[in-house]
Amino acid sequence: MNLPGALLTVALGLCLATALLALAVPARIRPALSGVGTAAAGAAGAAAGGAAMAGQTWSAWLPDLLPLAGVRLTLDPLGGLFIAVTGGVAVCAGVYGIGYARHGLSGRIVQATLPLFVASMLLVPAAAAVSTLLVAWELMAITSLLLVLAEHGRRPAVGGAGLWYAVMTHLGLIAILGGLAGFAAGAHGEAFEQLRSARLSPLARDAVFLATFAGFASKAGIVPLHAWLPRAHPEAPSHVSALMSAAMVNMGVYGIARVGLDLLPGSTGGASGGGTPAWWWLLVLAAGGASAMYGILQAAVSSDLKRLLGYSTTENMGLVLMGLGAAGFFATRGAPQLAALALVAALLHVVNHAAFKTLLFQAAGSVLHATGTRNLDVLGGLRARMPYTTALFAVGALAASALPPGNGFVSEWLLLQSLVHAIPASGVAGAVAMPLAVGVVAMSAGLAVATFVKAFGVGFLARPRGPEAERAVESPPSMLGGMGLAALCCAVLAVGPTVIVPGLARAVGTLLPGPAPVTGPAMRTVTLHLSGIAGTMSPLLIAVALAAAIALAAGAVRMFSARRRRAARLWDCGAGPMSPRMQYTATSFAEPLQRVFDDVLRPEMDIDVTPKKESAYLVERIRFHAMVPDRIERRLYGPLLAAAEALGRRARALANGSVHRYLAYGFWTLTGLLILLAVIP
């Protein structure tokens, strides 16, 4: 067993040992034990993934561990990337959870399930057979569901969120199961090596891709299969939300990349993505673009902090799928350098998103821990009461806004470079799709800036708008430590993305063999050079230049205004001192954007006027209520749920309590199956 295999074994062993100990130790030490064990397992997993990204591969077959098929595991650079990201998020979540879980979340089931959830996410990218992948996937679904339901006794909304998540994740599992089972049947084997050498008909190949794409896209939170995400993420404990949003959704991206760019192309007789139909990747690109736009629009008008971050995850996974779709499309058009560049951008954004979304969800949990509310409309003034959380949230907000020197800027810049340079030589379909994709990326970046300016400015600055914010206190050191680790990752990725460029190039080479699309190892240069494209960028130099410009401007203002500075009361329009009610709320801040996109969002508003008892012409109270529902959920899932309910009511007549009728059902079902088997050759 080499280094990656040994480290992965250690990580899985630590997860199992932590889960078992969490069931036995007293409640007062359980959060610390679970947090330390989860963090240690995450560190071992991150090291295993890093070793695989460095070029060390590992394989294992355990024939007796799983009935019939056994367990097949393989670590290659692509799987290593996703394992490293999962391990890094687990380290931050484990440290953060030590303090967060002390307030009502120290139960045995919750603390034992957390490391098992991490173990399942480490196993998914390491699976090398259909049965192994499906077992790990189902373990990931069950453990995450238990964690989503951790606080069901406190809030009624948790039960509904858990139900949505359970249904959506298992429908996705059914789609993945159907697609991969059909693939394995055509390949006469379930190992990934057998799948790569299979020969499928075009119709069977298309069916496998569509089924697996639907299942994996559901896990990634892609529109219109995103309905579970803005429900489950807000209701889960915040360190669990970080694991789900920064690590678990990545498994959907991994599944699409592994099946679409690695396993299926071999079944066509081609190599890499070039052996697949172009419409597959245009579909992925379109789904990613729709998710990016819809997700950031919903985030921009949301006043629930964690729901806002949940929709932001849909947006960022949409950007990742845009890069993945563009990579597959360029591969079919014989443009390997553009394909590799787009795939590097997608994978780098996976890493960047994991870093800043871990930080943002943990900071949101810190706010919830201190105030008891996620409603931005009643927050404010947290900068003075929670200075460390405020600064850390600002780092995450800058990264999520895709502005320099945030780490999200680098990956989105690479994505734009691949899309812009593809326009002249991508055929008719590309000439239409790529400019639209560029517009989507640009618009989503602009809306992301507005979204996080709202979240930070309304939630943390100005004066408290409610008693919850007035009594806020800073979070305990372990929670700040978890956020600090995530912020450090954001900073390193922002100024030194060249550190992980070699590992990304190896991961891309697993799917698209060819020259490295980005050069510039950290030991030689701080500049990213794009191979075959006139494009370079140095994030470190940009950060230094921005810091120097800010320092120069601040110094100049201080120097020229020091002698003329005097204290004065803020202008109040002559109406007296301003109260907190006069400040912008999250709802009022988003109202102009809501008007611009009124036809897309279709907000619902209600005005309730209560007159005085003495006269109908005198008003005692006016209550205004505005809500922006999820239109896709209402238009798509509403009719489906109504139809399912109606079908269920009609189906009650089939079960009338008659044993003779039930025996007849069995007889006719068996007879029909025998006739079908006799007819089918």
**Domain range annotation of the chain:** 275-348+372-388+402-475+498-557
Q: What is the pLDDT of residues 224-271, one digit of tens each?
A: 999 899 889 888 899 999 999 999 999 999 999 999 999 988 655 555
Q: What is the pLDDT of residues 410-464, one digit of tens each?
A: 999 999 988 888 766 567 788 888 899 999 999 999 999 999 999 999 989 888 8
Mean pLDDT to the nearest integer, 113-132? 94
Identify the pLDDT of residue 426: 65
Mean pLDDT to the nearest integer, 551-559? 82
Identify the CA nearest to 454 among candidates 357, 320, 590. Answer: 590
Between 589 and 141, where is the model more confident? 141
Q: Could you give the CA distance from residue 369 to residue 307 in angstroms, rounded to a whole number? A: 16
CA-based R_g, the chain, Å: 26
| Helices then strands, each counted (H, E), the chain | 28, 7
Identify the pLDDT of residue 134: 94
Between 260 and 67, where is the model more confident? 260
Kindly tell me if the per-residue pLDDT of 519 is higher than 70.
no
Q: Could you give the CA distance from residue 49 to residue 250 in angstroms, rounded to a whole number? A: 14
Kindly tell me if the per-residue pLDDT of 19 is higher than 70.
yes
Contacts of residue 123, defined as CB under 8 A and 6 or more positions apart, other chains included, come to 12, 73, 132, 136, 139
Amino acid type, 388: Y
Tokens of 360: 């943002």
Residue 665 and residue 653 in contact, taking contact as beta carbons nearer than 8 Å: no
Contacts of residue 176, defined as CB under 8 A and 6 or more positions apart, other chains included, come to 134, 137, 211, 212, 215, 216, 255
Of the given ranges (7-21, 167-181, 523-537), which has the lowest mean pLDDT? Answer: 523-537
pLDDT band at residue 118 under the 50/70/90 scheme: very high
Residue 7, Cβ neighbours under 10 Å: how many? 25
**Looking at the DSSP assignment, which residues form a beta bridge with residue 91?**
none
Q: Could you give the CA distance from residue 143 to residue 137 in angstroms, rounded to a whole number? A: 10
- What does the buried/exposed string (b/e) look like for 393-405 if buried means 16 or more CB atoms within 10 Å of the residue's CB? bbbbbbbbbbbbb
Residue 164 and residue 181 in contact, taking contact as beta carbons nearer than 8 Å: no
Residue 86 and residue 8 in contact, taking contact as beta carbons nearer than 8 Å: no
Amino acid type, 97: G
Mean pLDDT to the nearest integer, 547-551? 88
Kindly tell me if the per-residue pLDDT of 108 is higher than 50.
yes
Identify the pLDDT of residue 523: 39
pLDDT band at residue 49 under the 50/70/90 scheme: very high
Between 567 and 473, where is the model more confident? 473
Kindly tell me if the per-residue pLDDT of 575 is higher than 70.
no
- Between the alpha carbon of residue 511 and those of residues 136, 186, 339, 344, 411, the distances in Å are 22, 22, 10, 11, 19
Mean pLDDT to the nearest integer, 29-36? 91
Kindly tell me if the per-residue pLDDT of 488 is higher than 90.
yes
Q: Could you give the CA distance from residue 369 to residue 521 in angstroms, rounded to a whole number? A: 41
Tokens of 494: 């922002």
pLDDT band at residue 505 under the 50/70/90 scheme: confident
Query: Could you tell me what percent of the chain has a pLDDT over 70?
Result: 94
Q: Could you give the CA distance from residue 309 to residue 259 in angstroms, rounded to a whole number? A: 29
Identify the pLDDT of residue 522: 42
CA dihedral angle for residue 428, residue 409, residue 355, residue 44, rounded to 10 degrees: 80
Residue 388, Cβ neighbours under 10 Å: how many? 16
Contacts of residue 323, defined as CB under 8 A and 6 or more positions apart, other chains included, come to 288, 342, 343, 345, 346, 347, 349, 415, 418
Mean pLDDT to the nearest integer, 143-172? 89
Q: Could you give the CA distance from residue 613 to residue 528 in angstroms, rounded to a whole number? A: 72
Contacts of residue 56, defined as CB under 8 A and 6 or more positions apart, other chains included, come to 2, 3, 4, 75
Kindly tell me if the per-residue pLDDT of 179 is higher than 70.
yes
Q: Max Cα separation, the chain? A: 99
Select, from the ranges 7-21, 64-78, 545-559, 587-601, the one with the highest average predicted confidence (pLDDT).
7-21
Beta strands in 566-651 (DSSP E): 604-611, 619-627
Mean pLDDT to the nearest integer, 106-125? 92
SS3 518: strand
Helices 407-422, 336-371: axis angle to 10 degrees equals: 150
Kindly tell me if the per-residue pLDDT of 565 is higher than 70.
no
Q: Could you give the CA distance from residue 282 to residue 463 in angstroms, rounded to a whole number? A: 48
Identify the pLDDT of residue 423: 65
Mean pLDDT to the nearest integer, 362-371? 92
Identify the pLDDT of residue 294: 93
Q: What is the pLDDT of residues 271-327, one digit of tens each?
A: 555 578 999 999 999 999 999 999 999 999 998 899 999 999 999 999 999 999 999
Between 121 and 678, where is the model more confident? 121
- Average pLDDT in the chain: 87
Chain centre distance of CA 42: 18
pLDDT band at residue 199 under the 50/70/90 scheme: confident
Kindly tell me if the per-residue pLDDT of 77 is higher than 90.
yes
